[in-house]
Amino acid sequence: MASLASDDVSFSEIAGWIEKDTVLAGNMLRLVNSALYGLRGTVNSVRHAVSLLGLSRIRNTAMSISLGQLYVKLNAHPQWSHRQFNLRCVSEALMADQLAQHLDVDYPEGGFAAGLLHHLGLMLSAIAIQAEFEQVRVGYSDGTRSLEECELTYWGFAHTQLSAGILREWNLPKQIQAAVRTDLPISAQQDPAPLSKIVLAAGRISDRLAIPIQPWMRQPDGVPMDIFEELRLEAKAEKIQERFTTEFEAIRSLFH
């Protein structure tokens, strides 16, 4: 994951990793041969697929599938849905990537990875500390507090702090470690905008697209355009959403 998120990863490195992972290779070939790309003939070589999809898309897709495979065989809290979590992570990643391309933001190349790994700490808590996770879930279900408020009450920290700590252990770029810390105040005076602002916006848009982190989480009022207007991207909103939908539908078919 750290290698995929690095700035200087090469085509040959990515192709080599994919070829060593049967599940990843199969899903990558399935994607490139899907109707999304409308290619003539069948692509049956990983290296050919990498060259067709391009470095950015192949890296993002490989990261999405790799995250989907992490810990999925471990027992999680009974109310935890791995599939829903994976869909939300991909949604945030794709939207953060799109927003970073249209805004003046620090380290825009980290948008996808930061969005993808934003809630990793929550998933690990649902696996490793299930009793404490249940405390937060029950507290949240009363409808009066946000998830973060419940985490601070029962745990003393937010799950995004845990996400940042994990990424530090994985040696991901420091900018991505900082970007997932959306529990920290974001100064409106910073220019360019911190990447965490983009990640937070991508999450809010995902909520309004009815792609929650978990099925039992509340959906906020409002529509995605509300967030685009806050970011002053209303003129580009339709184009961004069209691109997002195309890529999201392609990747979501890989999760069951």
Instruction: Report pLDDT for 53.
Output: 77
Query: How many Å apart are CA 151 and CA 153, to the nearest integer?
Result: 5
Q: Give residue-wise pLDDT tens across range 101-147.
A: 999 999 999 999 999 999 999 999 999 999 999 999 999 999 999 99
Query: How many Å apart are CA 8 and CA 189, to the nearest integer?
Result: 31
**Collapsing DSSP states into helix, strand and coil, what is residue 138?**
helix
Domain ranges (residues) in the chain: 1-69, 75-252
**Collapsing DSSP states into helix, strand and coil, what is residue 36?**
coil
Packed helices 55-69 and 82-102: angle between N→C axes, nearest 10 degrees? 150
Instruction: Report pLDDT for 188.
Output: 56
DSSP string spanning 143-162? Answer: SSS-HHHHHHHHTSS-HHHH
- How far does Cα 93 stand from its chain's mean position? 4
Instruction: Report pLDDT for 37.
Output: 65
Say if domain 75-252 classifies as CATH 1.10.3210.10. Answer: yes
Which residues in the chain land under pLDDT 50?
none
Mention every residue, 6+ apart, whose C-beta is less than 8 A from residue 217: 140, 147
Going by C-alpha positions, the residue among 256, 249, 255 that lies closest to residue 34 is: 249
Instruction: Report pLDDT for 35.
Output: 65
Instruction: Report pLDDT for 42.
Output: 83
Going by C-alpha positions, the residue among 54, 78, 3 that lies closest to residue 247 is: 54
Instruction: Report pLDDT for 216.
Output: 96
Q: Give residue-wise pLDDT tens across range 156-180.
A: 999 999 999 999 999 899 999 999 9
Going by C-alpha positions, the residue among 119, 141, 122, 120 that lies closest to residue 130 is: 122
DSSP string spanning 170-187? Answer: TT--HHHHHHT-TTS---
Instruction: Report pLDDT for 59.
Output: 84
Q: State the CB neighbour count (10 A cutoff) for residue 42.
A: 8
Q: Residue 105's beta-bridge partner residues?
A: 193
Instruction: Report pLDDT for 217.
Output: 97
